[in-house]
Structure 1
């Protein structure tokens, strides 16, 4: 049987997908800090290492440059221009001690936008299990990592925790604030999705409108299982990665 030669249209479609796949592989390596010193290999090395043509490599690099992840400098090469934070989900929940290079390693600094006592809104009241209008503290801030905006968060905290949270210095991350305030918690729940940045949120985070965001709703419970804080958090998806690992439970013999 004679081999089937792809039509020009199919060849172009296949090449476009090769560009996409190469972009994804390089981006992942960038995000896990896989290039020593932030310097990418030369085009010829990328071609040989991935079995790609020069045109494919250049198009993939152009896409990464358009995303603001790399820059190409004549005589220097292609280098990473942004840092991505990789954090375990357990750390993001505040359930384990911060890692040396994770989200909660005390490099974060808040820019407080609002710290006001208000009646809890109806939708939040439902999540907290209290009547609408119950007093709460609304604390909204932009999280800066190395002075660059990473996330914007709006927290609605009930009293008595809110009393301590409202009076305590807020200098790094939310869990450090709770620790300083003596607001103990026993559980943390996240619902994580994706949203497109509206113009206002995009402006706060230094993004173009329509850029993808990690959208997170968090509920924090006290040691007795009472929910006392609901947060709506929007994080730059190009600057944040979560790591989760699960161990498969051993099956009983004969199962």
Structure 2
């Protein structure tokens, strides 16, 4: 039997088929494609994906384990957890990104001028920085834990301003009279440590996305370095990429 035949769709394991279906169904759930948050029945989904009902049951079990859906007697399989798309192709604060979903507020956990760690000082070109630590909520739900380092001359004017209800980006532009231009972003997945889990109100070991973002003024000067822990069960990252 040829290697091509061995890898053909007809001979794949049921677990592989279930995972394939789960990925597409997850995207549909996040995109709010199911009216009223109720998924089609197993027979319809099995026909949609050309798999057995057992494969669909396994796919739904995967999404149930993620906390995304659940089975409700007399109703069917329903969406029980909303996920929110966070765009990566625009330089925007969380409140700007999620404004249509409700109110973003911030618990300011730390704020003040500190001596920058050497790597932070090198990236911001500032030996002293303003450090801001915020727990960010959407309609009261904890979404992310943001650790922000600001170049001193940029961060000091923010001290005493409304950091509980405003994005730092908009405050930087307001106080400096200058526009932010671009940012470099690194994204990786980690498991929540005990402290992060407690702050974000998730079980220890839960999936978190850690975003490192260095933002610049339009002139190219770096001014804002952030390390953001985002809940993987509530946020999904989205971007549009072009091949040039």
Q: Please tell me the TM-score bracket, short chain as reference.
A: 0.7 to 0.9
Change (3 A) 1:52 1:172: farther
Runs of 5+ unmatched residues, structure 2: none
8 Å CA contact 1:136–1:157 kept in 2: the answer is yes
Q: Distance in 2 between matches of 1:47 and 1:138?
A: 52
**Among 228, 233, 243, the residue aligned to 2:238:** 243
Counterpart of 2:210 in structure 1 is 215
The aligned residue for residue 79 of structure 1 is: 78
Equivalent residues in 2 for 1:119-158, closer than 5 Å? 119-130=115-126, 134-158=127-151
1:195, distance to aligned residue in structure 2 (A) = 2.0
| Correspondence for 2:171 | 177
Determine the C-alpha separation between the residues in 1 that align with 2:162 and 2:28.
Answer: 37
Cα 1:36–1:219 change in 2 (3 A) is same
Q: State TM-score, norm by structure 2.
A: 0.84
Residues in 2 aligned to 1:177 and 1:67: alpha-carbon distance in whole angstroms? 36
Of the two, which has the highest radius of gyration? 1
Runs of 5+ in structure 1 lacking a partner? 250-255
Residues 140, 76 of structure 1: CA spacing in aligned structure 2 closer, same or farther, 3 A cutoff? Answer: same
Deviating more after overlay: 41-50 vs 219-228: 219-228
Partner of 1:59: 58
Aligned pair in 2 of structure 1 residues 128, 29: CA closer, same or farther (>3 Å)?
Answer: same
Once the two structures are superposed, the pairs formed by residues 86-105 of structure 1 within 5 Å of their partners are: 86-91=85-90, 93-94=91-92, 98=96, 102-105=97-100
Matched positions, count: 233
- Rounded to whole Å, the distance in 1 between the matches of 2:52 and 2:228 is 41
Q: Does the aligned pair in 2 maintain the 1:107–1:172 contact within 8 Å?
A: no
TM-score for both structures, normalised by structure 1 = 0.81
Paired with 1:188 and 1:248, the residues of 2 have a C-alpha distance of: 20
Helix, strand or coil: the match of 2:203?
A: coil
Mapped to 2, the partners of 1:172 and 1:56 lie a distance apart of 46
CA RMSD in angstroms, aligned pairs only:
2.6
Query: Superposition pairs for residues 178-217 of structure 1, below 5 Å?
Result: 178-182=172-176, 184=178, 185-217=180-212
Displacement, 1:179?
4.1
Which protein, 1 or 2, shows the higher relative CO under an 8 Å CA cutoff with sep ≥ 6?
A: 2
1:17-44 superposed Cα distances (whole Å, 9 cap, x missing partner): 1111111111111112111221111122
Quick one: distance in 2 between partners of 1:56 and 1:225?
A: 51
**What is the rounded CA distance, in whole Å, between the counterparts of 1:202 and 1:117 in structure 2?**
27
CA distance in 1 between counterparts of 2:212 and 2:68 reads 27
Cα displacement (A) at 1:182: 4.1
